[in-house]
Amino acid sequence: MIEIKLLDDTPTAAPERPEANRPQFPPSFFQAPFVDVQALHASPYEVDETTYLALGGGLGSFVWVDYLRVAGVPAAHVAAIGFEDKPYGRYRRLASNSQIPDHERLRSNSDACPDNLWGWPGYGVREMWSWAKRGRLLKAGKIGFQLLTEPLLIEPFTPRSGDVYHAIDQEAERIGWAQIWRYGRIRAIRKTTDGRYAVAYAQDNGRTAAQRYKFFVAPFVHVAVGYPAVRFLPDLQAYREETADFEHVVNAYEAHHHVYDELEQHGGTVLIRGRGIVASRVIQRLYEARQKGAAVGVIHLMRSKIEQGSRHGLTARPVNHHWELQPYNFPKACFGGDLKKKLEQLPAEEREQLTERLGGTTTAERADWQAILDNGRAKGWYQIRFGEVERVSREGDKIVTRLASDDLIDAAAAFYVDYVIDCTGLHGNVRLNPLLDDLIEMYQLPTNSLERMVVTDDYEITDMRNGRARLYAAGAMTYGNGFAPVDSFLGLQYVAQRSAEALVAHETPFLKPLEGGRSLTAWWRWARGVQP
């Protein structure tokens, strides 16, 4: 059983219990599966209405809203509720904490553009043009060669995170995101008796209950609330509960820049748990500390050896230093090739199993990362050990990790280090999100074997239909359905397009098919920075 730590910056929150001088919210009538809109208006809380409502306010919401705006929906008929005014705010913070600053590159490809639903020009072309305009023709040519020959002759292009954020800022301004977005933590979703949905949400900046709590009513709702929790290994969680030591045992997704600052000043040894993309970036950051002259050592503790990568048919992922390597979180064919088609056609149980096999824990096959591992193992500052952890404790000024077994060596089954960094990732179980858990309980919604929501090929939760009203989902909460990489940039765009096209077929207000001349005209407006 993996213990977890809930993220403190999610756009959702559990319903409040009544306390002294504070009313219960949502009110008691929200305990029923259907609420009367008249009851909402009779309450002391503000009630807003719109046509399209995006819940979450992050990248999933932004991509969906962007598609609606491009396809003809006026900004006045769209609203989004979230915790941060920048749609990438939470993503950027998690990336920064896991040592991906704005100048570093993300694990994504050139044409996966949250700011550009057509995908052209992609981030690679834009970066190439940026260098060319500054007279840096060699750099521009290098990127052009990379785009033309990836992945056969050279590793795939990946965009700089800062470029992605800047592009999203520009598109947000173009579509009027500042007018669409509302600050709030979402408490509950209910069907209404008039064939719509009511959303209860809270604003922390309200001085009185009437100012703090609000309702939104809409017939077409999109839910994209991200990962509910940081995955935290149980032995490390137990250590922190016993010692209250949040300084030396940290999670990679927490703010832990102090670790690298201390290591650069005084040196030390770090124990790393987990071997995905985040672990790769953390090791790169530790290597950079060594390059500044610090005596930094790394012990990478893995539960088991990997001699051969996951197989599918005649293919297998390459393995180096017991890491499975893959350019993206899924094979490229899952994004738009034969594997995408196969996953859509498989029965649910087989699809979920294949999704896990094609995804899993991998890291990018970057030449610089492989060189760092080669250097570390050759010089001894990076050591790999295997075994199950029995206990983590503190002895003096060291963190001690004792193993129940160690398959690689027969020597000491304990490691004395200065810091432990948990790089095991995020937890996707939808029942850990209070909003989704409440929704599942209220409407008895099905979940799949991967603990995510069951949706249609258009990413609709059909059990939430309410007359003509429709509710769609996106992102990590839909993992294990027809499209494997749902929490990637391209996945968010694909799901937004599928749900929007379903709404077009449903003949919802203002929304027009985005095809042919209309699509070309819309792209030309995007290229010139003109409002949709």
pLDDT in tens, 233-243: 999 999 999 99
Helix (H, G, I), strand (E, B) or coil at 29: helix
> Which pLDDT does position 12 carry in this prediction?
72
Element (H, E) at 55: strand 52-56
Asked if the model's pLDDT at residue 93 lies above 70, the reply is yes
Distance in angstroms (rounded) separating the CA atoms of residues 281 and 253? 12
Q: How confident is the model at residue 192 (pLDDT cuts 50, 70, 90)?
A: very high
> Which pLDDT does position 9 carry in this prediction?
61
> Which pLDDT does position 354 carry in this prediction?
94
Q: What separation in angstroms does the CA of 351 have from each of 343, 347, 473, 483?
A: 6, 6, 19, 10
CA atoms within 13 A on the CB side of 315: 9
DSSP state of 19: B
Task: Work out the mean pLDDT of the chain and round it to a whole number.
Answer: 94
Q: Could you write out the three-class secondary structure of 312-369?
A: ECCEECCEECCEEECCCCCCCHHHHCHHHHHHHHCCHHHHHHHHHHHCCCCECCCHHH
Distance in angstroms (rounded) separating the CA atoms of residues 353 and 7? 28
Least-confidence region, from 42-46, 392-396, 408-412, 479-483: 408-412
> Which pLDDT does position 404 carry in this prediction?
85
* For residues 285-302, average pLDDT: 97
> Which pLDDT does position 101 carry in this prediction?
97
> Which pLDDT does position 2 carry in this prediction?
37
Asked if the model's pLDDT at residue 276 lies above 80, the reply is yes
Distance in angstroms (rounded) separating the CA atoms of residues 183 and 201? 9
* For residues 412-416, average pLDDT: 84
Asked if the model's pLDDT at residue 7 lies above 70, the reply is no
Asked if the model's pLDDT at residue 66 lies above 50, the reply is yes
Could you give the percent of the chain with pLDDT greater than 90?
88
pLDDT in tens, 200-211: 999 987 678 888
Least-confidence region, from 22-26, 81-85, 209-213, 407-411: 407-411
Better-scored residue on pLDDT, 277 or 13: 277
pLDDT in tens, 420-451: 999 999 999 999 999 999 999 999 999 999 99
Q: Architecture of domain 11-96+165-228+429-528 in CATH?
A: 3-Layer(bba) Sandwich (3.50)
* For residues 33-44, average pLDDT: 97
Asked if the model's pLDDT at residue 417 lies above 90, the reply is yes
* For residues 327-342, average pLDDT: 93
Q: How confident is the model at residue 24 (pLDDT cuts 50, 70, 90)?
A: confident
CATH superfamily entry for domain 230-307+362-426: FAD/NAD(P)-binding domain (3.50.50.60)
* For residues 293-300, average pLDDT: 97
> Which pLDDT does position 407 carry in this prediction?
53
Beta strands in 150-295 (DSSP E): 181-183, 185-192, 197-202, 213-218, 220-223, 229-231, 249-251, 268-273
Element (H, E) at 419: strand 419-422
Distance in angstroms (rounded) separating the CA atoms of residues 392 and 134? 53
pLDDT in tens, 339-353: 999 999 999 999 999
* For residues 37-60, average pLDDT: 98
> Which pLDDT does position 204 carry in this prediction?
82
* For residues 389-403, average pLDDT: 95
| Nearest residue to 269 (alpha-carbon basis) of 297, 250, 291 | 297
> Which pLDDT does position 450 carry in this prediction?
96
> Which pLDDT does position 396 carry in this prediction?
95
Helix (H, G, I), strand (E, B) or coil at 406: coil
pLDDT in tens, 170-182: 999 999 999 999 9
Asked if the model's pLDDT at residue 5 lies above 50, the reply is no
Q: What separation in angstroms does the CA of 429 have from each of 3, 229, 326, 361?
A: 12, 8, 24, 17
pLDDT in tens, 250-261: 999 999 999 999
Helix (H, G, I), strand (E, B) or coil at 513: coil
Strand arrangement of the beta sheet that strand 389-395 belongs to: 389-395, 398-403, 414-417
Task: Report the predicted TM-score, pTM, of the whole model to 2 decimal places.
Answer: 0.94
Sign of CA dihedral 515, 517, 523, 526: negative
Distance in angstroms (rounded) separating the CA atoms of residues 273 and 167? 34
Residues of the chain with CATH 3.50.50.60: 11-96+165-228+429-528, 230-307+362-426
* For residues 355-377, average pLDDT: 95
Could you give the percent of the chain with pLDDT greater than 70?
94
* For residues 378-390, average pLDDT: 94
Q: How confident is the model at residue 21 (pLDDT cuts 50, 70, 90)?
A: low
> Which pLDDT does position 412 carry in this prediction?
56
